[in-house]
Structure 1
Amino acid sequence: MVRLLAALFAWLNTLHVARALENGQGLMPPMGYSSRSDCSTEVTEWRIKNVTLSLIETGLAAKGYVYVNIDEGWLAGRNVTTGKIYANPHKFPSGIKALADWVHDQVVPGKGNIMKIGLYTSRGTCQCSTNTYHGPGSQWHVSEDAHWLGYAGMDYLKEESCCSSQNHSVAIREYENMRDALDATTRFTNRSVFFSVCGRGSWYAPVGASLGNSWCVAKHGSHWGALSNSINENAALWNFSRPGAWNDPDLLQGTGVGSNDLPQNPRGCYDPRQAPHTHDWYVTEEQSRAQFSMWAVMSAPLLISADVGQVSQYSLETWGNEEVIAVSQSFVRGGPYQGQRLFGEDLKFDKRSAKGKGVNVWGKKLPCGSFALVFINNNNEASDVLCDMWCFEQMVEADVTQYSMRDLWARNNTGTLKKPFSYTALQVPKHGGVVMLRFKVISTWPVREVSPHTKYRIGRRCDSTVGEV
């Protein structure tokens, strides 16, 4: 299957050659919030303001979660005379521009005015609809909508594919139209926009960097089974990620607390009885931690789709783990910029039957000879997950003889590992259990002189790794 996908991607590249997108955005995977799985289509100005303040108050904003993205549900319609779009005045009484100004004015202690805001549209005639929401898309109004977005102060735009042609050539051309229109807005706004292409298919990956700063690689990952599929899809796409252009396996899912509990919680977003499309959404806290581990090692966008002002302390500790965030935001010079599956086959999980299958080991190379490993288990029982000598060979440098090990979730040092390298994560919990380790070089074999005063490379110095490219 991997070989077939590679052949398909190579063929697609011969069909279409486009200029690369160089807008200076997304040099590291973006971090922030999205309303999509939090509020479905019931997002409001009140919600966006409260989430913004919660990101700041919890300390998440200072750790990099600066985007506050409004997904579907915000738009009321399009003026039949002028063609301009306008927000729902009941949900957004101040208007989008005033809300954007408010978000930009918020101060993150020690960081200043770093908060950003994003919006949503579709390249088709309509936005993705539900039984409670219908809104027009940007088709035939691309320049007008891009100009409106620029005037409103948007920093991020997610464009879906609803109500549009699924022909690959047509899809590429329509995304190019919005890309170019957004680029043109910088001439009068001096504000470059992160462009998220959400066609939801792995075939976008070979041309993704020419279209946007990220591209969705799979269908909506609203529960652990779908997220497992997103991981599987992304396994073959690692070589397409780079600074400014990232594979996007979907949003960071919450548990539903504060989202679909409106009947019991006045701060909830919606009543699930009135939103049947959400019936299988959300994950457990443990699965959320597994997702965060995998998204970090895959260098994926980290966009939390839950109200961080209402989630548990466990969830805040998951998304706020700075050592895991550092794995997401750190790279070796020249790549690869996305982690790879080192062992295992596709992960399976059926939400209805609560049965799954498969274990994986994923690894991501980090600066100074370091690397991170994620051991994940989808079996129906706790399982030992092994990374053997062959597994380690894909990560280690030939002259390294010893590594220190640190458990990034237990937050403790777990000893050293010497040649021949092999490690077993014992009894990893079922259905999304995870262990995440970071390995740092302690010592190496003697090597040829690399300077008049250095004959050995021992304990390679690594003062700062975050963002090194």
Structure 2
Amino acid sequence: MIRSRRRRRALAAAAALAIVAAASVSSAQDATAAPNNVVTTPPMGWASWNTFAAKINYSVIKAQADALVSSGMKDAGYQYVNIDEGWWQGTRDSGGNITVDSADWPGGMKAIADYIHGKGLKAGIYTDAGRDGCGYYYPTGRPAAPGSGSEGHYDQDFLQFSRWGFDFVKVDWCGGNAEGLNPQTAYTSISDSIARATAQTGRPMTFSICSWGNGSPWNWAPGVSTMWRTSQDIIYYGETASMDRVLTNFDSAQHPTAQSAGHYNDPDMLIVGMPNFTAAQNRTHFGLWAISGAPLLAGNNLATMSADTRAVLTNREVIAIDQDPLGRQGTKVAEDATGLQVYSKTLSGTGKRAVLLLNRTGATANITARWSSLGLTGSAAVRNPWTGTDLGSFTTSYTASVPAHEAVLLVLSGTDGGGSGGDKTGTIVGKQSNRCLDINNSSTANGTQAQIWDCNGQSNQSWTYASGKQLTIYGNKCLDAYNKGTTNGTPVVIWDCNGQNNQQWNLNADGTITSVLSGLCLDASGAATANGTKIVLWACGSGDNQKWTFK
């Protein structure tokens, strides 16, 4: 959290070729690799900050864990109980290990993690990337806490968190910001520390980057974390919940090319059910996060929430939109008049879309979703997930009356007809090797050469074929014929997507994948089938090392 309101290619050819030719091992075998595959859907749970700020202790967290279960939220998919800022006042023992007030945390932090686990839930904890955390710069309910960050203790602290039993760690940026640290450098180091801790304890931790969008984390965080904050806080200490802030944070999180299954833009914790928010505002807010495929971390007081709030937070059909396994972020596909917007999210299955009609204006208005802008053709069935009712079948479009500052959420079932709504995501499997097209060690570096490796479901094997004929990975990297090569042996690498034709590919009926620029085929070099075999371009032939299946 933050309490203030502040807001190419340049590699030499020899260096790049050295990169693409380098032999190394798969990320699945590298203990220092970033923990990129902890989750496959957006994390769901509850976090303490929005309601309790730093005024937390064992009893507060226990009561919320109990309520997460008794309210039905656990059964609806919420897993994490996240202890945010305020649990620690920056104290350490002579060995540098974190110590806590036993009056607040009887039995220490392991005891509360054990209690959470005993409820069938997962436990989350919090620290800062700098020396002094947010509790030092912005004390909120507790005295200023110097030393309440993890800088200088990364390996030690994340190992301690893992040994205590925590499954999730949020790392804030108050100290990092004040010290002028580089966000990418700091958070990459932290990611490596988490991976080393996991290698020792066997307990992976979901990693939440909270740099408030500083350093444009959507450009690099998919390679090192599960989720990354894209904006400042959705509510500040002592404030009233605001739909304007909800929309600001929603807008700031629009980085769809960065998002994929296991890696998520984070517009911040939910304020559904916070004081002065109406039922309609709760639904609009929750619908915005669902269409975004954002993490769903409730921030209200679960022990005292109303039946209406509980109904919003536990609506299974809306949750399913958020949790769709494709991991897509919905994008704006139409705005016929200023402030009358249509967002579309491709769902798993054939011809499935979630659609949100958002009215940002001050008056009720009709908003139309047209199948052509959603990548659908023919008739489509329309359903209201909030009420669980089918609204009928429509041939080319659907229009709804949307109240001012609210949204209508829909689920459509039709026929894919091309366009951005019809993008396909999956693995690309070699016919000869039965191994997957893979980016070694989950690297996001420009010039990393593609290879084949045992299929493992990780994000470095998840490809999206977009309407512009690009094959993308991590949301923002494209499969690229290196240096616009058109000759046999040209390395096939990943590079920042740039719209050039050396990043365009034809997926052909005979199983070949050809470069639009050269017409050459994607080829497992030397017809080899071993893990680590590099991918190059080669004149198309009849060999199975040039045949691929997009699954």
Bucket of the pairwise TM-score, normalised by the shorter protein: 0.7 to 0.9
Task: Describe the SS at the equivalent of 1:164.
Answer: helix
Q: How many residues align?
A: 381
Q: Which residue of 1 aligns with 2:187?
A: 175
* 3-state SS of paired residue (2:125): strand
Q: Distance in 1 between matches of 2:305 and 2:11?
A: 43
1:404–1:415 contact (8 Å) kept in structure 2: yes
- Counterpart of 1:424 (choices 384, 393, 399) is 399
Runs of 5+ consecutive residues of structure 2 not aligned to the other structure? 1-7, 13-18, 20-26, 236-241, 418-461, 463-550
Which residue number in structure 2 is paired with residue 87 of structure 1? 100
Matching residue within 238, 243, 248 for 1:229:
248
Q: Structure 2: how far apart are the matches of 1:104 and 1:411?
A: 33
Matched, 1:342 2:348: no
Give 1:139-158 correspondences, 5 Å limit. Answer: 139-158=151-170
1:211 and 2:224 matched? yes
Equivalent pair of 2:207/2:226 in contact (CA under 8 Å): yes
With the length of structure 1 as denominator, give the TM-score of the two structures.
0.75
Deviation at 1:73, TM superposition (A): 0.7
Equivalent AA in structure 2 for residue 132 of structure 1:
G
Q: Name the CA distance, whole Å, in 2 between partners of 1:442 and 1:293.
A: 24
Q: What is the CA–CA distance in structure 2 between the aligned matches of 1:289 and 1:13, rounded to whole Å? A: 48
Q: 1:252 aligns with which of 270, 273, 276?
A: 270
User: Structure 1: which amino acid aligns with 2:360?
Assistant: N
Q: Which residue of structure 1 aligns with residue 532 of structure 2?
A: none
TM-superposed deviation, 1:23: 4.1
Aligned to 1:243: 261
Please tell me whether the aligned partners of residues 33 and 192 of structure 2 are also in contact (alpha carbons under 8 angstroms): no
Change (3 A) 1:85 1:344: farther
Match of 1:69 among 82, 107, 115: 82
Partner of 2:288: 294
- One-letter identity of the residue aligned with 2:244: G
The corresponding residue for 2:375 is 396
Q: CA deviation at 1:13?
A: 12
Q: CA–CA distance in 1 between the matches of 2:11 and 2:200?
A: 34
User: In angstroms, what is the RMSD of aligned CA positions?
Assistant: 2.9
C-alpha distance after superposition, 1:142-172 (max 9, x if no partner): 1111121111111000001002247997221
Equivalent residue, structure 2, for 1:352: none
- 2:517 corresponds to which residue? none
The structure number with the bigger radius of gyration is 2
Give the C-alpha shift of residue 186 in structure 1: 1.5
Contact 1:119 1:157 in 2 (8 A): yes
Q: 1:371 aligns with which of 331, 345, 353?
A: 353
Q: Conserved in 1, the CA contact under 8 Å of 2:36 and 2:224?
A: no
Amino acid at match of 2:86: G
Q: Name the CA distance, whole Å, in 2 between partners of 1:443 and 1:141.
A: 51
CA distance in 1, matches of 2:218, 2:178: 15
Q: Kindly indicate whether the alpha-carbon contact (under 8 Å) linking 2:130 and 2:150 is maintained by their aligned counterparts in 1.
A: yes
> SS state of the match for residue 362, structure 1?
strand
In the aligned structure 2, how far is the partner of 1:406 from the partner of 1:79? 55
* Secondary structure of the corresponding residue to residue 368 of structure 1: coil
CA distance in 1, matches of 2:378, 2:317: 24
Does structure 1 conserve the Cα–Cα contact (< 8 Å) formed by 2:45 and 2:81? yes
Runs of at least 4 residues off by over 6 Å: 10-14, 17-20, 166-169
Q: What residue is the counterpart of 1:54 in the other structure?
A: 67
- Structure 2 residue identity aligned to 1:358: G
Q: Distance in 1 between the 2:93 and 2:11 partners? A: 40
Q: Is the 8 A contact 1:405 1:438 kept in 2?
A: yes
User: Which residue in 2 is equivalent to 1:126?
Assistant: 132
Map Cα deviations across residues 418-448 of structure 1 (whole Å, 9 max, x no partner): 1xx222211x2223x121111112799xxxx
Q: 2:465 maps to which residue? A: none
Instruction: Compute the displacement of 1:187 (Å).
Output: 2.5
Instruction: Give 1:458's aligned residue.
Output: none
Cα offset, 1:48, TM superposition:
1.3
C-alpha deviation, 1:131, in angstroms: 4.5
1:258-273 paired onto structure 2 within 5 Å:
none
CA positional deviation for 1:412 = 0.9
Separation (CA, whole Å) in 1 of partners of 2:292 and 2:171: 22
8 Å CA contact retained: 1:252, 1:288? no
Alignment match of 1:436 (pick from 405, 409, 433): 409
With over 3 angstroms needed to count, the CA separation of the structure-2 counterparts of 1:12 and 1:437, relative to structure 1, is farther
Alpha-carbon contact 1:13-1:207 (below 8 Å) kept: no
Classify 1:90/1:183 alpha carbon distance in 2 versus 1 (closer, same or farther; 3 Å): same
> Which AA in structure 2 matches 1:424?
T
Give the fraction of aligned pairs with identical amino acids, expressed as a percent. Answer: 26
Superposed, 1:441-452 pairs within 5 Å as: 441=414
The question of whether the paired residues in 1 share the 8 Å contact of 2:352 and 2:412 is answered with: yes
**Offset from partner CA, 1:256-283 (integer Å, 9 cap, x none):** 35xxxxxxxxxxxxxxxxxxxxxxxx74
Do the aligned partners of residues 404 and 211 (structure 1) sit closer, same or farther apart at CA in structure 2, a change above 3 Å counting?
same
**Alpha-carbon spacing, 1:338–1:318, altered in 2? closer, same or farther (3 Å):** same
TM-score, scaled to structure 2: 0.64
Give the match for residue 273 of structure 1. none
In structure 2, how many angstroms separate the alpha carbons of the residues matched to 1:85 and 1:62? 34
> What residue is the counterpart of 1:29 in the other structure?
42
Residues in 1 aligned to 2:159 and 2:416: alpha-carbon distance in whole angstroms: 56
Specify whether residues 442 and 199 from structure 1 end up closer, same or farther in structure 2 by C-alpha distance, changes over 3 A only.
closer
- Offset at 1:78? 2.1
Between stretches 70-79 and 30-39, larger displacement belongs to: 70-79
Q: In the alignment, is the contact (CA less than 8 A) between 1:118 and 1:154 conserved in 2?
A: yes
Q: CA separation in 2, counterparts of 1:327 and 1:54? A: 24
Q: Which amino acid aligns with 2:247?
A: S
Distance in 1 between the 2:186 and 2:93 partners?
A: 23
What per-residue deviation string (whole Å, max 9, x for no partner) do you get for residues 88-124 of structure 1? 3333223210111111122xxxxxx3x1000011101
How many Å apart are 1:320 and its aligned residue? 0.6
CA deviation map 1:167-188 (0-9, x unaligned):
9972211111211111111123
CA positional deviation for 1:128: 1.0
- Tell me if structure 2 keeps the 8 A contact 1:409–1:435: no
